[in-house]
Amino acid sequence: MSRIDPSAERVTTVGRAPLLSTRARARALIRGALCAFLPALAAPQAPDWKRVGPELELAFPADHGAHPEFETEWWYLTGHLEDEAGARFGFQFTVFRRGLEPGPHEAGSALRATAAYAGHLVLTDVARGETRFAERLRRASPLARAAKDELDVHLEDWSLVRAPASALSSSETLALAAGDPARGFVYSLRLTPEKPLVLHGERGYSRKGADPGNASAYVSWTRLAVAGTLRLDGVERTVTGSAWYDHEFGSAVLADGAVGWDWFSLQLADGRELMAFVLRDAAGAPLKASAGTLVERDGTPRPLARADFRLSATARWTSPRTDATYPAGWTLALPAHGLELTLTPLVPDCELVGSAMGVAYWEGPLDVGGTVAGRGYAELTGYHGSLAGRF
């Protein structure tokens, strides 16, 4: 079920069936506006949202921050953790920003919602074969915000903040603090990039369709060392591992005809990383704009076109909640780079059914085999309802 804290406009998933309190229903107007975050994305695109184009030029650290002139943005972490006893976990932390009104905003009512923030927090317990999922939704406010010139994102007591290199630390670091007591898990993690920031596509301009504006600005830290603690069911564990960070923003990103995507982030044992996404049409066929990036050991990115890789599903899994059927194993080949990889989910049921954003998707950790071993993550969208017009 979902429990809604009406005083905080907060949604926390604690089970599977939604339950609304009387007080929550009394705040339906506010929550309805916030829940326009994704369902209302099918509305006609406002003409004055800025769109990402080929002229994109990114500069950091400023572009780690929020871009309110664009309609949609997200900051996203996935990774693998291991505790002192060798127990394995996957984790996901995502904050989405959705603009509700384009253009500059004059001072006015504090209740006026010009943007909304949604968050997803996930723990995949490999030994137990289970996935725990919490979500939050708030209008932009002091409790839901992202700095415009730095990676400094807050959603209530969830936060992701970058600290630059200093006399105390020879490299920049990210600090993640997030948890959900109702679901029994809390993260406190420090993440250190082991490679330079990767700009996907053309200097960060990642096309998703034939129209130059069907694109996002897309950057990643493809390999971060992770250390910290995981509090699980009241027991604190010391954990280490590795993570992948993505930041994207844009407006009307997906082209007409795209209903969803299969996205993969892989960290290979030979020191390379691979990102690949396949955009699908309603018949499940891949679209030409599907692409990827192979990151060499020294951090050099190699852009990949759709013709440079082959992706085939080897198994299927059907959700007992939504009846959606997802791929549940793959082969991924890059012939020119000598890679023939097998991708296997560590836990079959990693479906996330969100009440706040009104979408269901699969996101979970993978083992990588084949010509090179490794680990990774997959995100599968559009299998339970099309995402056409929503991004």
Of 92, 101, 94, 106, the closest CA to residue 37 belongs to 101
**pLDDT per residue as tens digits for the range 4-60:** 333 334 443 333 333 334 344 334 433 444 444 444 334 444 458 999 999 999 999
Contact 205, 52 (CB under 8 A): yes
Task: Based on DSSP, count helices (H) and strands (E) in the chain, helices before strands.
Answer: 2, 27
State the Cα angle at 358 between 356 and 362, rounded to 5°. 105
Residue 255 CA, distance from chain mean position: 20
Which residue type, as a one-letter code, is found at position 140? A
Structural domains in the chain, sorted by start: 2-43+51-380 (2.40.370.10)
Rg (C-alpha) for the chain, rounded Å, is 20
pTM: 0.87
Q: Residue 331's closest CA among 307, 312, 308, 354?
A: 312
DSSP conformation letters of 358-369: --EEEEEEEEEE
State the burial class of residue 340 (Cβ atoms within 10 Å of its Cβ: 0-12, 13-18, 19+): middle
What's the rounded Cα separation, in Å, for the pair 159 and 178? Answer: 6
Sign of CA dihedral 268, 274, 275, 276: negative
Give 116-141 pLDDT, tens digit per residue. 999 999 999 999 999 999 999 999 99
181 phi and psi angles, rounded to 5 deg: -60, -35
State pLDDT tens for residues 272-320.
999 999 999 999 999 999 999 999 999 999 999 999 999 999 999 999 9
358 SS3 class: coil
pLDDT in tens, 135-161: 999 999 999 999 999 999 999 999 999
Q: What kind and span of H or E run contains 326?
A: strand 325-327
